[in-house]
């Protein structure tokens, strides 16, 4: 039941399904994703439920855009979602499950796996660093004078950055431990 609420949150300014998809791929990518085949029917259902209203707008390029806006009922539903308190579900980190079973691979492939992970998360971290740098350069209120909605958007960005930094450091520690182990086994074997 999260996607409809997240869409309500994102619709602070009116937007089309296509716009929302773009935002999932940029700003919100580190904590949620959704594809168009899920977004379009969800928006339609929310309109039927009275949470949104839409109007068609001509597009410069391609077919007309269907632009959605929150209704009063939509804003109320969003507020109630927040008032119910934090929704913490168990994470599904299949890459971490994989790390737990790396003993099934030879030492070289174990190392390769951890290096790939490391590089992948460095890439993710860099993307968010780029977002933050851009924000810092273009908004004189950044970071201590940000008004309410942007303050919270910055909170989520900070979590993304520290999360990726933590994972990258952890990968480096794991690689060091693997190297120590292999140095030891080479000496004794």
* Binding-site ranges for DNA (CB under 7 A): 1-3, 16-19, 22, 33-38, 40-41, 43-44, 59-67, 89, 92
Q: Are 68 and 43 in contact (CB under 8 A)?
A: yes
22 binds a copy of itself (CB under 8 A): no
159 binds a copy of itself (CB under 8 A): yes
122 binds a copy of itself (CB under 8 A): no
Which of 68, 65, 67, 64 lies closest to 46 in space, CA to CA? 68
Partner in contact with 49, chosen from DNA, a copy of itself, none, beta carbon below 5 to 8 Å by kind: none
172 binds a copy of itself (CB under 8 A): no
Nearer to a copy of itself, 97 or 186 (CB): 97
At its nearest, how many Å lie between DNA and the CB of residue 157?
22
Where does this chain bind a copy of itself (CB under 8 A)? 2, 5-6, 9, 28-33, 75, 78-79, 81-83, 85-105, 109, 113, 116-117, 120-121, 144, 148-149, 151-153, 155-156, 158-159, 162-163, 166-167, 169-170, 173-174, 177, 180-181
């Amino acid at each position: 039941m999260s996607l409809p609420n997240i869409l309500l949150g994102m619709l602070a300014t009116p937007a089309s399904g296509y716009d929302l998809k773009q935002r999932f791929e940029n700003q919100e990518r580190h904590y949620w994703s959704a594809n168009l085949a899920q977004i379009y029917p969800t928006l339609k259902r929310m309109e039927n439920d009275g949470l949104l209203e839409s109007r068609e707008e001509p597009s410069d390029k391609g077919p007309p855009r269907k632009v959605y806006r929150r209704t009063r009922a939509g804003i109320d539903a969003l507020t109630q979602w927040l008032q119910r308190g934090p929704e913490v579900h168990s994470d599904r980190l299949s890459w971490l499950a994989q790390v737990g079973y790396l003993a099934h691979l030879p030492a070289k492939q174990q190392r390769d796996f951890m290096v790939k992970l490391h590089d992948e998360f460095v890439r993710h971290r860099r993307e968010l660093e780029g977002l933050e740098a851009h924000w810092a350069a273009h908004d004189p209120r950044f970071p201590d004078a940000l008004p309410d909605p942007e303050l919270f958007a910055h909170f989520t960005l900070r979590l993304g950055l520290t999360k990726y930094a933590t994972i990258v450091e952890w990968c480096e520690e794991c690689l060091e431990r693997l190297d120590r182990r292999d140095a030891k086994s080479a000496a004794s074997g």
